Structure formats: structure tokens, C-alpha cells
Amino acid sequence: MTIPVPVPVLDHVVINVADRLDEASALYRRLGFQLSERGHHTLGSSNHLAIFGENYLELLGYESGRGEQRKDLWQAPLGLTGLVWKTEDAEREFLHLQRQDLDGDAPALFHRPVTLPNGEASEAHFRTVRLRPALIPNGRSFFCQHDTPHAVWQSAWQSHPNGVRNISEFVIVAQDPALSAQVYSHLFGADRILACQDGAFVLKAGEARVRFASAAYAHARFGSLPEDYDGSARMSALSFRSDDLAKVKASLLLGDIPFREEQDAIIVAAEQGFNVALRFHL
């Protein structure tokens, strides 16, 4: 049987907030994001989502008394820990991962209740298949099949005070960016990984770019790294495309969030983004 090589498209990113869901959701609302009501997965975790055009951001944590469920997730650092790819067939991706010697566990099925904007009760159902955990330091990378996309991508949820339309960049900082990119070269094909003059490597993923770069690059572009960065490969920063930087600035001023203005971007340091550096641009 021929198993096609998947095409990389960013589905969503995961920020691990552990037992600090209230704090993290309040912060991201102050950053100008519209967040979903708190959702509760059948696996025991809880979340808030910021839904964009093609992708979305997930604040993932747990409520009191549920820390023992999905315990492996909470052992990751606080901050950006999930790089998630779109798929229409999780079982097919699992076969591809096996063929490439990248496989972790077999596909998992789970769901969470959702109240749609019109008040209708629904459920969001997913199938996920994860790359082998040992291959992804300080986080996870997996494919997500949405069996009920209407329960995630509702137009009423895609309008944000800061004008963000999509995640445009996902940054992995590493002492050896080429080595960090290697797993995704095996996953999607070497021709998908582009070398840059600054020593970084870039993988186009739909509306987003996944960038594997040095700490020096991250400091130059984002001004900061996660406060607990220890030199090991780390998911560390996000860029967002907004339709109006004036909306971003107004949201940050209203939310009392410190920021730095550049000619074509607004930067929020990692310490102000729940251990994730944030960059907003047109």
C-alpha cells in the first residue's frame, strides 16, 4: 500500500499552563485575544482556545484535583509545548510515522462538550497521533484530525480585539537548529526544510512558518527567551499576523501589557506572554 507523505500545515499550538488556567486565560484576554469558554476533555485536561482563520492557539491545563490525569503533559515546561499538524486521516499518518521510524502511540480518540455561538450544545471530536516523545525535547508534536471542524472554526470565534488573523511563525530555539529540524525533514521530506542565511531553517506550514533558530536569533527578533531556557531545544516564540497594529497596541494598553514597538511589529516579551515571546505584525 502506498502511504503518502503528509503536507505540513499548522493546525494549532499548545501553551502548557498546568494548574494556572485562570491566570493564563485572563492574561491572553488582556493581550487582545477572544478566548472560548473553558472546555473539558474526556481525557481530563481543560482548555481555552483562540480561533483564527486556518489555525488556533490552545491554553492547556487542568483544574483542581485533576493533575494526576495526563500527568505526562504537566511535566513539560510552562509555555509553548505543542506543535500540532493538520490531517484528515490520523490512521494514515500513524502508518507514515511507523515507516519513518518516528511513531509514538497509536491514534487516540477523545472529545469535549462545546456550546456553539447560537447556544446549541455540541461536541468537538478529535483523533490525534503523536511523534515519538523522545524525538521532541520539552514538548510534543502530533497530527490532529478534526472529526467535527464546525465545533472549532466558527466565524463568531475568529474575531479578536487585537485583529489577529492567523499564527504566522512558530519558533524552536536550539543550539543546533539543523539537528532540531531533522525530525521534521524525516517527517515531511528534506525538500520542505529551507536553509536561511542567518543560520536558521524554515518549514512552510500553510499560513505559518516553523523556524528552527539559535538563541541569538530569538533575542534579536523577539527580545527574550523563556525564563527557564537551559540551552536544550525549546519551543519558545510565536508570531501573529494582525489586520491592524493599532488594534494590537490598543489591546495591550488596555490590558496594561508592556510591549516594544518596531517599525513593522509589536513585541511582547516572554515574561509577559506566559513564558512565550510574542510578535505581532501585518
Q: What is the pLDDT of residue 198?
A: 85
Cα gap 187→96, rounded to integer Å = 8
- Residue 69 confidence class, pLDDT cut points 50, 70, 90: low
Report the C-alpha dihedral over residues 45, 230, 278, 79, rounded to 10 degrees.
10
Instruction: Please write the tens of the pLDDT for every residue from 70-96.
Output: 767 778 899 999 999 999 999 999 999
Question: Is there a common fold for 10-157 and 164-281?
Answer: yes
- The answer on pLDDT for 25 being more than 80 is yes
How many Cα neighbours within 13 Å face the side chain of 189? 9
The share of the chain scoring above pLDDT 70, in percent, equals 98
- Residue 105 confidence class, pLDDT cut points 50, 70, 90: confident
CA distances (Å), origin 15, targets 65, 76, 83, 224? 20, 10, 10, 17
Mean pLDDT calculated for residue range 251-264 = 97
Q: What is the pLDDT of residue 73?
A: 75
- Residue 68 confidence class, pLDDT cut points 50, 70, 90: low
So what's the architecture of 164-281 in CATH? Roll (3.10)
Write the CATH number of the domain with boundaries 10-157. Answer: 3.10.180.10
Query: Where exactly are the structural domains of the chain?
Result: 10-157, 164-281
Please, which residues have CB within 8 angstroms of residue 1's CB and are 6 or more apart in sequence? 95
Cα gap 247→239, rounded to integer Å = 16
Q: Where are the alpha helices (DSSP H) in the chain?
A: 21-30, 71-74, 90-99, 177-188, 215-222, 245-254
Asked whether 187 and 131 are in contact (CB, 8 A), the reply is yes
